[in-house]
Chains A and B, each alone.
Chain A
Amino acid sequence: MSAEELKVNGNGNGTIAPLQNVALFTSLVRRTVNRPGHLPGMATFHGYSGYGKTFAATYAANKFGARYIEMGESWTKKKLCASILTELGVQAQARTVSDQMDQIIEALAIDGVPLIIDEADYLATKGLINLVREIHDKSGAPVLLIGEEGLPGALSKWERVHNRMLDWVPAQPSTLADAKHLARLYCPHVSVEDALLEQITEAASGRARRICVSLERVRELASVEGLDSVGPAQWGKREFFRGQPPARRK
């Protein structure tokens, strides 16, 4: 491996910041945090499953000290409030939803950090979105909703919610540039040829998660065969990762 390759690939501890969706979400959070006072501070980051939305969101969450909850299918108002309070570190939680809302609003108003709600589709299906709007209105804290492709459509039914949105940002399918950066992060000691990365990206249909699994296989191949560099010739007729198994790795 040349010195130049070592410099590019030799550091396994790079950040995910250059990935397209990471840049999109980080910019979105920055805009909600720095918005002028008269603008609303809610936003969506939405897209198909597997685009790596949550993975992409970790960078901004850490940069801005965001609080994060992931909604569940069975969630009620009470569960939503209790989960937010726990995530905010409020020890003595009030008994009723309305008192819990006061606690959430007070804590978020003091902290001034963004609140990220993942699987936000459930906010629409469960009719809990107005609770979130109230939290945003009264605390002034930015609220980022992460969800599926249909999230904006589902939320636009509520006009008052619609008016609170600073922006609706669609997550993007992974590109070759993303695959190259993922190769730097996931195969730090292997040089992966562009031709192979192109094939991996195409087989993944833009799903970042699938690219990572394929790259993991490249890393294993390189490790087993003692290769410094892997391209279509070394890869041969092996399969790329296309489908969605129950777990990412065996």
Chain B
Amino acid sequence: MDSKKSRLTKSFAFIATVLAVWLLFVAQRWSERSLGRPDFLTGYALLAASLTMMLLSMRKRLLVLPLGSVARWQRAHHYLGLFAMGSFVLHAGVRVQGGLETILALLFWGISLSGLLGWYINYSTPKKLRAAGRSILREDIPTLRDELAKRAYSLALNAAGKNESACLAEHYMQHLRPFFQKRRSLAYCLVPNGRMRRSLLHDLDQVVRYLGPDGRISQSNLSQLVREKDDLDFQWAMLIRLRGWVIVHVSLIWSFYLVVAIHVYSVYRFHGS
């Protein structure tokens, strides 16, 4: 699909979505006026939309079916998501009363917002990743981490061998070891930053003054390793985010449908007329 053409189709699809929500709104008003059941109208539109969105994961499994590429389905999924949010607002309004309804609304918005977040992450992260260097498979990162740790360790060890720069080894043991051994915190995954990198490198530079020529070499190597490790961690964080939002997005889904089922059931049992 041509990039220009795609932009065209995108805007068209978006307009179509807005139009659909508007139509639903009109239908609701009409139904309201003719003593209909607007809530049922919007409710079922919402249900239909969310069920259709569920089909995406089905499609990903059943690739043998000749139903167009997953990319198309994904796009449809996005716009349906927008539509669903619109129709939810029409259906339940912004502030919701009642215990069950509140839970339902929370679940819905949980899913929707994680979806929007994911939309953004999917859009932005790949470029950041490319900036971070050669793309690495998430599965390989532990291996690479261990390798780095080993290299750093041996480097420090060798440095310790030369008595002049035992302090480098000490420094390693005190400050760098945990950095190389452990993975980063969840907080870092959420907001990756260069704070630790900077501080570690700064500390390493402080050590220089106690080092002889060989020591300095190994020191610079060590700081190089620090950079590599930090880059690795950065990629790790990025990849975790790319995967994490999906997990959040899908994790609520079954609870959502469960509550929906109860909601629909009780509506049918208790609606006035």
Q: Say whether A associates with B.
A: no
The interface of chain A, by Cβ under 8 A from chain B, is none
Instruction: List chain B positions with a Cβ less than 8 A from chain A.
Output: none
